[in-house]
Structure 1
Amino acid sequence: MSAADFLFAPEVQKLLKVVYAAPDQPFAASELAQRSKLDPADVARTLEHLVSSGILKRQKPKADESDTVTLDRSFVFHDELRSIALKSFAAAEPLRSMLRSKFKDSVLRAFLLGEDKDGTLELLVVHGQSIPDEAAMAAACQKLSKTIHRHLKVHVISNARFNSLAVRDPLASKLAAACALEIIALGDTKAQPPAERIGLLQSAKKKLATLSRPAS
C-alpha cells in the first residue's frame, strides 16, 4: 500500500476525522473505536501505522489509565494534512453531502470559509429562488455537527446579497482567503437562481421602445 493509499484509507479517514476535531485532546483506542464506529482490532492496527508515520504520538499513561494518542504537531506535514482533511473527508464532503441531499432545491452555492482557533467551521450558504427552512437547516447542521464532532457557524444569504458583497464586508474577505473552499457550485443542485427583477422605470422604457418601433 502506498503512502497516499494509506492516508486515504477509510479507517484512517474515520480516525483522523475524530482526532482533527479535537487536536489537543488525548484519545484512548476504545474511545476512538466508539466515535469512529470501527472494530477495535482495526483501530489498533491503524493507530500503529499513524504513530509510526509520525502523524500521531503516544502519551505516557498515568496510573491505572489506558494508553492514549494525540496529534503530533511537530509532524512535518501536519498543516498540509490538516488542510487536506478539512477540505475533504473531515468537513467538506459531509457538508456537501448534507446540503445536496436535504436542500438541493434551495441551496444555490455553498462555501466552507475555514475554521477558527477553537475548531468551529464557518459555512456560507447562498440560496436561490427558494429559501431553506430555517428550522430544518438548524436541525441538519446540529446533527452533522455531532457526526463530525465540530461546531458549525452558518450564514445563509440571498444570491443578490452574495453578488453585491462589498470588499470591506467580512464575508467578502473570508471568501477571498486562501482557506475558503467552494463546496457547492452553480449547477450542482436543482436550486434555481432568482428571476431578475426589472425596475418600473426600466420596464416603462422597454415598453415605450417596443411601441415606438415602426411596423414592418
Structure 2
Amino acid sequence: MSAADFLLSPAVQKLMQVVYAAPDHPYSVNELTQRTKLEPSEVDATLEHLVKSGILAKQKATADQTETVKANRSFVFYRELRSIALKSFAAAEPIRSMLHSKFKNSVVRAFVLGEDNDNVIELLVVHGAVTPDEATMTEACRKLSKALHRHLQVHVISNARLEGLTSRDALTAKLAAASAFEIIAPGDTKAQLPTERLGLLQSARKKLAALSLSQHRSGSQ
C-alpha cells in the first residue's frame, strides 16, 4: 500500500476525523474504537502506522491511565494534513452530503469559512427562492456536529444578501480569507434563484415605452 493510499483509507479517515476534532485530547484505543465503530484490531494496526509516520504521538501508560495517542502538532505536515482533512472527509464532504440530501431545493451555494482555535467549523449557507426551514436546518446541523465530533457555527443568508455584501461586511473578509473554500457552487443543486424584480426606474421606463408605442399605433390609424 502506498503512502497516499494509506492516508485515504477509510480507517485512517475515521480515526483522523476524531483526533483532529480535539487534537490535544489523549485518546485510548477503547475510546477510538467506540467513536469510529472500527474493529479493535483495525484500530491497533492503523494507530501503529500513524504513530510510526509521526502523524500521531503516543503517550505511555501511567498508574491510573492506559496508553493513549493524540495529534502530533510538531509533525512537519500537521497543518497541511489538518487542512486536507477539513477540505475533505473531516468536514467538507459530510457537510456537502447533508446539504445535498436535505436542502437541495433551497441551497444554491455553501462555503466553509474555516475553523477557530476551539475546533468550531464556521459555515455559510446561501439560499435561493426557497428559504431552508430553520428548525430542520438546526436539527440537521446538530446531528452532523455529533457525527463530526465538533461544533458547527452556521450563517444562512439569501443569494441577494451575498451579492450585496460590501467591504464593510464581516462576511466579506471571511470569504476572502485563505481558510475559506466553496463546497457547493451555483448549479450543484436543484435550488432556483428568485425571480428578479424590476427596479422602480426600470419599471417606469418599460411602462413609458409601452405607452409611447400604443400612442404611436393610435396616431397612425
TM-score normalised by structure 2 residue count:
0.95
Q: Residue 208 of structure 1 corresponds to which residue in structure 2? A: 208
The 3-state SS of whatever aligns with 2:123 is strand
Using the TM superposition, give the Cα deviation of residue 179 of structure 1 relative to its aligned residue in structure 2, in angstroms: 1.0
* Shift of residue 90, structure 1, vs aligned partner: 0.2
Whole-Å Cα distance in 2 between the matches of residues 172 and 23 of structure 1?
Answer: 29
Other-structure match for 1:6: 6
Larger radius of gyration: 2
- Cross-structure match for 1:159: 159
Matching residue of 1:187: 187
**Structure 1 residue 20, shift from structure 2 partner:** 0.3
Q: Quick one: which amino acid aligns to residue 4 of structure 1?
A: A
- 1:37 maps to 37
- Counterpart position of 2:145: 145
Q: 2-side partners of 1:88 and 1:163: how far apart? A: 27
1:61 and 2:61 correspond: yes
Aligned equivalent of 1:78 = 78
Letter of the structure 1 residue corresponding to residue 90 of structure 2: A
For the residues of structure 2 that align with 1:10 and 1:123, how far apart are their CA atoms? 25
Q: Secondary structure at the match of 1:193?
A: coil
Equivalent residues, number:
216
What is the identity, as a one-letter code, of the residue corresponding to 2:27? Answer: F
User: Which secondary structure state, in structure 1, belongs to the residue aligned with residue 88 of structure 2?
Assistant: coil
Cα deviation for residue 60 of structure 1 reads: 1.8
Structure 1 residue 64 displacement after superposition: 4.2
Checking the alignment, whether the CA contact within 8 Å between 2:60 and 2:66 is kept in structure 1 is no
The CA distance in 2 between the partners of 1:82 and 1:65, in whole Å, is 27
Q: In structure 2, list runs of 5 or more residues that go unmatched.
A: none
Task: Report the CA distance between 1:208 and its aligned residue.
Answer: 1.5
User: Alignment partner of 1:212: what SS?
Assistant: helix
Residue identity over aligned pairs, in percent, reads: 69
Stretch moving more, 99-108 or 203-212: 203-212
For 2:197 and 2:89, locate their aligned partners in 1 and report how far apart those are by CA, in whole Å.
40
- Give, in angstroms, the shift of residue 180 of structure 1: 0.4
2-structure distance, mates of 1:89, 1:46? 17
Confirm or deny that 1:19 pairs with 2:22: no
Partner Cα separation in structure 1 for residue 210 and residue 42 of structure 2: 73
Q: Which amino acid aligns with 1:204?
A: A
Residue equivalent to 1:174 = 174
Structure 1 unaligned spans of 5+: none
Equivalence map 1:61-140=2 (5 Å): 61-140=61-140
Letter in 1 for 2:77: F
Amino acid at match of 2:32: L
Cα distance in structure 1, aligned partners of 2:200 and 2:162: 24
**Letter of the structure 2 residue corresponding to residue 77 of structure 1:** F
Cα RMSD between the aligned structures?
Answer: 1.2
How does the TM-score come out when normalised to structure 1?
A: 0.97
Deviation at 1:120, TM superposition (A): 0.3
Q: Distance in 1 between matches of 2:8 and 2:96?
A: 18
Cα distance in 2 between the residues matched to 1:78 and 1:210: 66
Shift of 1:124: 0.3
